[in-house]
Amino acid sequence: MKFTHLFLVSAAIAVLSGCGTPPKSPDELRTLVKADGMGASHDEFVVNKPFRQVSDIMKKKWMSCLDTTTSIRVPRGNGLYGVDSYAFKPTSSIKGQHMELALQQKNTTANNITVGDPPPDGFFIMVADITAMNSNSTKVSLQKLSLGFDGVMKRSRQWAEGTSTACPDLTQ
Amino acid sequence: MSRQFVGTRAGAIGLLALLAGLLSGCSDLKTYESKEPPNLHIVAKKLKSGNLDIISSFSAQIHVGSIDSHCQTSYVGTVELSDKPVDIGVPVGRQNYLVVEFTNNSHWAAYNATSATYKTLFTPRAGYRYDMEVAYQDGGYDIAIYEHGRQGGARHEVDHRPFSACGKS
């Protein structure tokens, strides 16, 4: 996993250095996922439960599990170590029979300079769209545009389907 | 030690400073000392890193903060979690801030020591007992707080409350 972190950090730097444009809004993220941008992943499925039931549990789990911070100790060379820190912010909005959940990631590492003019709470890395299909079925669309975070995708599906309540470890 | 944060953003920065200090070996964490009778029973279980023990070790802690009427948070202390349950006293009738942190320390000196946090406001009621259950396994964790009725009986889960709910009823 530790090698993965270095790779992810390198990849993130590549993205932020101009190899891609990190999304600054949920709509930008959807557009970039549709264009199959780097790190794009899309999972869409239908749950045979009422919209209210699915949206309630999804909102509850996003707000409790993803409002978090992570820190990863990494070597800086010459036997020195540094700590890369990130803050995650989940948000939700609902319009009628549609709920949007979004997740932002902000690099809070000391002395870090993030290029690309990120929003105050960081670039958007994941969006979940929950839409009522009829009185007893709900469509869930999970989209991410970031390397890693497969655990969030996996857990989100499990939350919607009701097969797990566990939170993902965002350092994995 | 006095750590004070105001609002969600500053609170997060303060917590990150805490984590950064921990990971860099310059931690100024201190053991949480209960000034109240025990009312929170903490059980940690299935604490496995997902890796072989010879590769890494795993630990979990709960940082406790107090919050004043202006939503300023002060770090009070830290509870180390192990396989043995622990009972602590959390001030009743006012908001407290609990931060659960998981740390995975590799025994190989390179890039190691990762951690994640789970944060919630917690306002225990006088005369009530609470259970906090923390589990970690296979890259996921489960945390829940339950409140027991005054006369025993069934317990119910206490809702998670983000820091942004501070000051709101």
Tell me the C-alpha distance between B51 and B46, whole Å. Answer: 13
The pLDDT of residue B83? 84
Q: Are residues B112 and A73 in contact, defined by beta-carbon separation less than 8 angstroms?
A: yes
Residue of A167, A68, A172 lying closest to B133 (CA atoms): A167
> B114: which strand partners?
A72, B104
Q: Exposed, middle or buried: residue B116 (CB in 10 Å: 0-12, 13-18, 19+)?
A: buried
A contacts of B12 (beta carbons < 8 Å): 69, 87, 108
**From A74, which residue of chain B is nearest by alpha-carbon distance?**
B111
Interface touch A70/B110, C-beta < 8 Å: no
- Amino acid sitting at position B70: H
**Cα–Cα separations (whole angstroms), residue A145 to A23, A36, A79, B139:** 8, 9, 33, 21
Residues A58-64, mean pLDDT to the nearest whole number: 95
Digit-coded pLDDT (tens) for A74-103:
777 777 777 888 999 999 999 999 999 999
- Amino acid sitting at position A94: I
Question: pTM of the full predicted structure?
Answer: 0.80
Mean pLDDT of chain B: 78
Other CB atoms within 10 A of residue B157 CB: 11
- Residue B23's pLDDT band (boundaries 50, 70, 90)? very low
Closest by Cβ to A170, choosing from B12, B111, B116: B116
Tell me the C-alpha distance between A66 and A167, whole Å. Answer: 8
Interface touch B119/A68, C-beta < 8 Å: yes
**Cα–Cα separations (whole angstroms), residue A93 to A55, A99, A150:** 11, 6, 23
